[in-house]
A and B are shown apart, each in its own frame.
Chain A
């Protein structure tokens, strides 16, 4: 049995906080159920992020959802959201649930959590990622976002424009760092036999817990930093029976531009189109959940900047948190 992403939903993305997390999540969930052509009463499982406002007991009794028999929370952080699909796929293939709803919302209120600028800058130095590399990533993301009506940072930048942006933590300037956004995304995961429309298949997934630099500096920096992510990635590709070079679209976390070349190196993705939606940097910073939506849409052909003939997509969370990634395959033709 193959688990598929039967539907996706998302709200408008905004810079400014307005609606509550609950309202945003509900809008995305309604859109995902509609997109999947699933009856709310069929939903029997849910996976959320552990710090979200909408919990498993908030949903039964609303939206036509009756009762949940599988519920789980993945640890929130910008690395977590691909794990929503990992947990949902596990529930479906193990027969724990038939129709699993995944959601994540952010109300856009900036909290005490510092941006990942400093850790990303340290990693850039350790891995010889130069300011020129960072600039290339930022400019490319702006070019992609300029053609994505949903994106929040759509103004094209020249290298000179970028140099006028102040440093936050060298070599990262303000425009090289994502600005927190408000919005929500949701998915419906079910077995391939149950879907009414062509649905991207969840081929394999991974999680890798990365000790945080500030909490456990020693372990983060000993040996080859982040090597455990590379090892988990190799196992994921092997489980999916595909090669990194086969990836057509790579939606990797771009909370800081320096993280993008590093992610491509760790996942050994060579020729994929990277973040055709503009990524966390330019579409919206929503803990990566919209990167997963983009991977799904690319395989269905309804992305804003479609990559022609895309058959294999990678969505990978931030390298700075307990991270997760998922490999999605194009829908099987009926």
Chain B
């Protein structure tokens, strides 16, 4: 059973292409250097439209989380209970994802995690987080 698959658009294509190569790609403002995610046309700090894509370190720490028991989407129901949360990347942006690699009840705010990818289809990989 496949999870819901991304529907990339012009703004998000680079992010999903990066996932396929197991690289976490985010935008960096070409003027003030602020990182941003989710992908969007302008810098939230200085409004510049100029940016470059960078590959993240893939490291971050848990900001908030919950343990999901469901009912949830059919693709995830077999994995319950699992942890899902918000991770603050070392680059300063926040991303949502599953947190794996430890007892879900051992997760605490600030726990260090690293990005990992699941190849869910020939040309689609989805990111999640593993306890470092």
Interface stretch (choices A8-16, A75-83, A213-221, A229-237): A213-221
Among A86-135, those with CB < 8 Å from B are 114, 118, 121-123, 125-126
* Inter-chain contact A121/B96, CB cutoff 8 Å: no
Q: Contact mask B52-68 → A, CB, 8 Å, 1/0?
A: 00000000000111111
Asked if A125 contacts B64 (CB within 8 A), the reply is: yes
Q: Which residues of A contact B33 (CB under 8 A)?
A: none
Distance to closest chain B CB from A228 (angstroms): 14
Q: List chain A residues, Cβ under 8 A from B44.
A: 218-219
**On chain B, which size bracket covers the interface?**
20 to 34
Task: Tell whether, in the assembled complex, residue A125 and residue B65 are in contact, meaning their CB atoms are under 8 Å apart.
Answer: yes
A166 on the B face (CB < 8 A): yes
- A168 CB–B CB distance under 8 Å: yes
CB distance from B75 to the nearest CB of A (A): 13
Contacts of A214 on B, CB cut-off 8 Å?
96
- By beta carbon, the residue of chain A nearest B107 is A125
| B37 adjacent to A218 (CB under 8 Å) | yes
Collect the chain A residues with CB atoms within 8 Å of residue B68's CB.
118, 168-169
Contact between A217 and B66 (Cβ–Cβ < 8 Å)?
no
Q: Report yes or no: A170 in contact with B69, Cβ–Cβ below 8 A.
A: yes
Chain B, residues 76-93, CB within 8 Å of chain A (1/0): the string is 000001001110100001
CA A114 – CA B88 in complex, angstroms? 24
Tell me the complex Cα distance, A217–B73, Å: 20
- Residues A118 and B84 in contact, CB atoms below 8 Å apart: yes
When A217-B95, A218-B37, A220-B94 are in contact, do A167 and B64 touch as well, CB less than 8 Å? Answer: no
Q: Is A222 an interface residue (CB 8 A)?
A: yes
Within 8 A of B (CB), among A273-302: none
A122 touches B64 (CB 8 A): yes
In this complex, the member of B63, B69, B73, B88 whose beta carbon has the largest number of chain A beta carbons within 10 angstroms is B69
**Given A216-B38, A218-B36, are A118 and B66 neighbors across the interface (CB < 8 Å)?**
yes
User: Within 8 Å CB of A222, what residues of B?
Assistant: 94
Q: Which residues of B contact A168 (CB under 8 A)?
A: 68-71
Contact (Cβ within 8 A) B96 A169: no
Residues of chain B within 8 A (CB-CB) of A213 are 86, 96
For the complex, give the distance between the alpha carbons of A123 and B66 in Å: 10
Across-interface contacts of A217 in B (CB, < 8 A): 37-38, 86, 93-96
Given contacts A214-B96, A215-B38, contact A221 B67 (CB under 8 A): no
* A contact residues around B70 at 8 Å (CB): 168
- Which A residues are in CB contact (< 8 Å) with B94? 217-218, 220-222
Contacts of B88 in A (CB 8 A): 221
* Interface membership of chain B positions 7-35, coded 1 if the CB is closer than 8 angstroms to chain A and 0 otherwise: 00000000000000000000000000000
Pick 5 A–B contacts, CB within 8 A, sort by A.
A118-B84, A125-B109, A217-B86, A218-B93, A221-B64
Apart from A170-B69, A215-B38, what 11 extra A-B contacts exist at CB < 8 Å?
Answer: A114-B73, A122-B86, A126-B64, A166-B69, A169-B69, A214-B96, A217-B93, A218-B38, A219-B44, A221-B86, A221-B94
Q: Which B positions have Cβ atoms within 8 angstroms of A?
A: 36-38, 44, 63-73, 81, 84-86, 88, 93-96, 109
Question: Which A residues are within 8 Å of any B CB, using their own CB?
Answer: 114, 118, 121-123, 125-126, 166-170, 172, 213-222
Closest 8 CB pairs of A and B: A121-B66, A217-B94, A167-B69, A170-B67, A169-B66, A122-B64, A125-B64, A218-B94
